Chains A and B, each alone.
Chain A
Amino acid sequence: DIVMTQSPDSLAVSLGERATINCKSSQSVLYSSNNENYLAWYQQKPGQPPKLLIYWASTRESGVPDRFSGSGSGTDFTLTISSLQAEDVAVYYCQQHYSTPVNFGQGTKLEIK
């Protein structure tokens, strides 16, 4: 199984500032046949299901604001919110979609400082 580990567990950032969340996989999620990293990011607000933000490590899902970006390759990945808005307060999860069983990171709680 591929184990996903996020850091930090929680994060407080001022409005308008940059927020960065890290995710590390226990083995590479780079698919050699197409050179894509099978890593997704989700946002979950209280009382709601998770929302897909990014897949293939850096491809934004349709409708996701461009202040959200993903980067990384192999085993180390980053979700960046370039300018934090109040509505971005949520828990963020990474997920590998390289192999089953699918695994998620433990989540990072993002708050306003």
Chain B
Amino acid sequence: QVQLQQWGAGLLKPSETLSLSCAVYGGSFSGYYWSWIRQPPGKGLEWIGEINHSGNINYNPSLKSRVTISINTSKNQFSLKLSSVTAADTAIYYCARGVRGAAAGRFDYWGQGTLVTVSS
């Protein structure tokens, strides 16, 4: 059974850098794209970006200038950094496994979510 377990700081001040990590247990780590997706409270889902085991990365252009996604294949973990956060970055952040068929993936396993609040 595949499980994604995520962790990271939940309270940030404006201009700080958000940092989250996600560990994958069970299943294969290669052969998938590993994504970060966020959801502002009471709102919809926004894809942030993805990485695969080879280090191929795709970012949402809307966040690209502030996002870094990295991977540690020896630990089956991947991470998200989002710089210069503002209140607009307050959201639940999810990690998810992407199953690729075309040039993008569907998400079949998700982490539990981390609420990140940006407040002075």
Q: How far is the CA of A102 from the CA of B96 in the complex (A)?
A: 13
Q: Is the CB of B110 within 8 A of A38?
A: no
Q: How far is the CA of A107 from the CA of B111 in the complex (A)?
A: 20
Across-interface contacts of A40 in B (CB, < 8 A): 106-107
Q: Is the interface of B mostly helix, strand, loop or mixed?
A: strand
Q: Which residue of A lies closest to B94 (CB)?
A: A49
Give residues 80-117 of B contacting A (CB, 8 Å): 94, 96, 98-99, 101-108, 110-113
Expressed in whole angstroms, the minimum distance between the Cβ of A51 and any Cβ of chain B is 8
A104 and B44 within 8 A (CB) = yes
Q: Which bucket holds chain A's interface residue count?
A: 20 to 34
Interface string of B60-87 (1 = CB under 8 A from A): 1110000000000000000000000000
How many B residues are at the interface, by size bracket? 20 to 34
Known: A49-B94, A50-B110. A97 touches B104 (CB 8 A): yes
Which residues in window 21-44 of A have CB below 8 A to B? 31, 34, 36, 38, 40, 42
The smallest beta-carbon distance between B102 and chain A, in angstroms, is 5
**Chain A interface SS verdict (over half):** loop
Does B45 reach chain A (CB closer than 8 Å)? yes
Give every chain A residue within 8 A of B45 (Cβ-Cβ): 50, 93, 95, 104, 107
**8 Å CB contacts to B: which residues of A55-113?**
55-56, 61, 93, 95-107
B111 contacts which chain A residues (CB < 8 A)? 49
